[in-house]
Amino acid sequence: MTTDTHLPVPSTRPRVEGFRGEVVVPGDPSYDAARRVWNHAIDRYPSLVLRCHDTDDVRAAVAHARAHGLVVAVRAGGHSMAGLGVCDDGVVVDLSPMKGIAVDPARRIATVEPGVIWRELDAATQEHGLAVPGGEVSDTGVAGLTLGGGIGWLGRTHGLACDNLRAVTMVTAEGRVVRASATEHPELFWAVRGAGANFGVVTALELDLHPVGPVLWGGEVIHPGARDVEALRSLVDLAGRVPEETRLMAALVTAPDAPFVPPEAVGSPVCVLAGAHCGAVEEGRATLAPLQATGPVVDTLRELSYVELQQVVDKTLPPARRAYVKSDFLGPLDDDALTVLADWHHRASSPHCQLLLHQLGGALDREPEGGTAYPARGAAWMVTAVAIWLDPEESPEPHVAWARGVWEALRPWSVGTYVNHLGDEGADRVREAYGASYERLVALKQEWDRDNVFRLNQNLAPCPRLA
């Protein structure tokens, strides 16, 4: 809870050598907006926010923090569940003003600065009928999502966002500007594809483009919560038969008061089954037809543009709420697992809670195990319990307990965890997230960031320096 004692006193504006961006300090009119992230359960007060406009600004910001012994938080889209893009007392290296996008349709490469969010990249690439596989919520940052993996609608067709990374430009802890690709610092390039927040500040990402859309087949069908297990079973059965172009998901939620929800269902638990087919519309219609055959009370499957698909989930996860998230990758799901999901759906701590199940597989498993630092090839599903509450005065306890309860109950099916969905969960969970890549990553951290300047991430702590 915020109390007046947390409010920092207005501070004088320091001179930041070589920095030409905006310097925001406590007391500035823009300070409160600059320190806020997606998750308003995170309420931190940095002493300085340095809003960078280019790579030189990033170098100056990192050098300033190091020279003054200040903690560094690197912020792009601000969607870290744990609020890792902001810190108390230290410096926020705010990349959000860096909005450059260059699309090269002939070479099928997009070069993207780290302040770009998915909605902006999708709009620019779809002008050419192309897309980079991204996430599902269009205001997440391209940088943070890609550097930790990046799972979305195109994943089963074209892989993770990080599988589509060709190269990055990065400011290192020492202030060097390096490019990492398959041929330049290849070991660093391996590491940034899954653990990228640990090694420096990425100031440009070069990403593969694929022909997508513009029109696809997708949408949702909705069942009453009383039919959770039956509906989920139909989804799991279908998942075993669909081609790689199709991706399925389920959302166990409380029905919102929306035009497409029958009045009698509003406020009650419902099971949303969603799907999208990233190939021909007619093929998608046939592939997803079994979802319609299960007797849903709402059916919104339709032709939709890729840009629309990328924003379908936005309204259900808006910024500025309070959230606590627990997530794991899961193996094949049997009826016992589906019963666990249904049970916890009906015990949600608030009407805003969401229990999400994402289909994986397909092209997500094409990259060989160990080919990138992202370790979780071969998982069948990802489950994410998103506890959300609105009142800042409310205790987080019941919501945290609900998300943890879901997670514990599903541990028997767990096969790992996703670094981008990790909260502040301790060293064992960080190790679990990096899986088989962990030791190799720690050795690289030693090489590139020996003093752990970049520690506000799912951190690979290097060995302390000997005096």
- Distance between terminal CA atoms of the chain? 40
Least separation in angstroms between residue 67's CB and ligand FAD is: 20
Stretch that binds ligand FAD, among 11-19, 74-82, 258-266, 409-417 (CB under 6 A): 74-82
Rounded to whole angstroms, the Cα distance separating 247 from 160 reads 13
Rounded to whole angstroms, the Cα distance separating 131 from 231 reads 31
CB-nearer residue toward ligand FAD: 123 or 286: 123
Q: Please, what sign has the CA dihedral across residues 116, 314, 129, 162? A: positive
CB-nearer residue toward ligand FAD: 94 or 296: 94
Backbone angles phi, psi at 338, to 5 degrees: -65, -35
Least separation in angstroms between residue 114's CB and ligand FAD is: 4
Stretch that binds ligand FAD, among 49-57, 73-81, 124-132, 228-236 (CB under 6 A): 73-81
Residue 78 carries which DSSP code?
A: -
Rounded to whole angstroms, the Cα distance separating 9 from 175 reads 31
Q: Residue 274: helix, strand or coil by DSSP? A: strand
Rounded to whole angstroms, the Cα distance separating 244 from 158 reads 9
Q: Does 163 help bind ligand FAD (rule: CB under 6 A)? A: no
Count CB neighbours of 428 within 10 A: 8
CB-nearer residue toward ligand FAD: 148 or 284: 148
Q: Residue 176: is it exposed, middle or buried by C-beta count within 10 angstroms (0-12/13-18/19+)?
A: exposed
Q: Does 143 help bind ligand FAD (rule: CB under 6 A)? A: yes
Least separation in angstroms between residue 332's CB and ligand FAD is: 21
Q: Which of residues 202-241 bind ligand FAD (CB under 6 A)?
A: 202
The answer for residues whose C-beta is within 8 angstroms of residue 241's C-beta and 6 or more apart is: none
The site map against ligand FAD for 426-455 (x = CB under 6 A) is: ------------------------------
Rounded to whole angstroms, the Cα distance separating 450 from 420 reads 23
One residue of 47, 287, 372, 457 binding ligand FAD per CB under 6 A:
457
Q: Does 79 help bind ligand FAD (rule: CB under 6 A)? A: yes
The site map against ligand FAD for 91-130 (x = CB under 6 A) is: ----x------------------x----------------
List 73's β-bridge partners, or say none.
92
Rounded to whole angstroms, the Cα distance separating 325 from 399 reads 9
Q: Which of 309, 253, 357 is nearest to 136 (CA)?
A: 309
Stretch that binds ligand FAD, among 22-30, 78-86, 294-302, 339-347 (CB under 6 A): 78-86
Q: Which residue is nearest to ligand FAD (CB)?
A: 144
Q: Does 145 help bind ligand FAD (rule: CB under 6 A)? A: yes
Q: Which of residues 308-347 bind ligand FAD (CB under 6 A)?
A: 317
Rounded to whole angstroms, the Cα distance separating 151 from 136 reads 8
The site map against ligand FAD for 184-203 (x = CB under 6 A) is: ------------xx---xx-
The site map against ligand FAD for 268-307 (x = CB under 6 A) is: ----------------------------------------
Rounded to whole angstroms, the Cα distance separating 117 from 145 reads 10
CB-nearer residue toward ligand FAD: 135 or 194: 135
Q: Does 172 help bind ligand FAD (rule: CB under 6 A)? A: no
The answer for residues whose C-beta is within 8 angstroms of residue 464's C-beta and 6 or more apart is: none
CB-nearer residue toward ligand FAD: 79 or 322: 79
Stretch that binds ligand FAD, among 43-51, 135-143, 260-268, 346-354 (CB under 6 A): 135-143
Triad 75, 81, 29: Cα angle to 5° = 45
Rounded to whole angstroms, the Cα distance separating 327 from 151 reads 13
Q: Does 420 help bind ligand FAD (rule: CB under 6 A)? A: yes
Write down the residue that tokens 């170098």 correspond to: 59
One residue of 46, 90, 133, 150 binding ligand FAD per CB under 6 A:
150
Q: Does 423 help bind ligand FAD (rule: CB under 6 A)? A: no
Q: Which of 277, 274, 278, 267 is nearest to 291 (CA)?
A: 274
| Contact residues: ligand FAD, CB under 6 A | 37-38, 74-81, 84-85, 95, 114, 135-137, 140-141, 143-145, 147-152, 196-197, 201-202, 317, 420-421, 456-457
